[in-house]
Amino acid sequence: MHDTAVARKQLPRRTLSRIVACTLTGEDLAAQASRWRKLHERAGVARSEVEDGVRLTFRDDDGVEEELRSLVAAENECCAWAAWSVARGDGVLVMHARSHGNGIAALHGMLHMPD
* Residue range 94-107, pLDDT digits in tens: 999 999 999 999 99
pLDDT band at 71 (very low <50, low <70, confident <90, very high): very high
Euclidean distance between CA atoms 8 and 108, whole angstroms = 18
Residues 6+ apart with CB under 8 A from 100: 4, 7, 8, 11, 15, 16, 52
Lowest-pLDDT choice from 18-22, 29-33, 50-54: 18-22
Encoded amino acid at 26, one letter = G
**Hey, what's the torsion of the CAs at 78, 3, 51, 20, to 10 degrees?**
-20
d(CA 37, CA 53) in angstroms, rounded, equals 19
In the predicted model, what is the mean pLDDT of residues 34-52?
95
Rounded CA gap, 51 and 98, in Å? 9
Q: What is the pLDDT of residue 24?
A: 86
pLDDT higher than threshold 50 for residue 32: yes
What is the mean predicted confidence (pLDDT) over 23-34?
91
The answer to whether residues 68 and 57 touch, using CB atoms and an 8 Å cutoff, is no
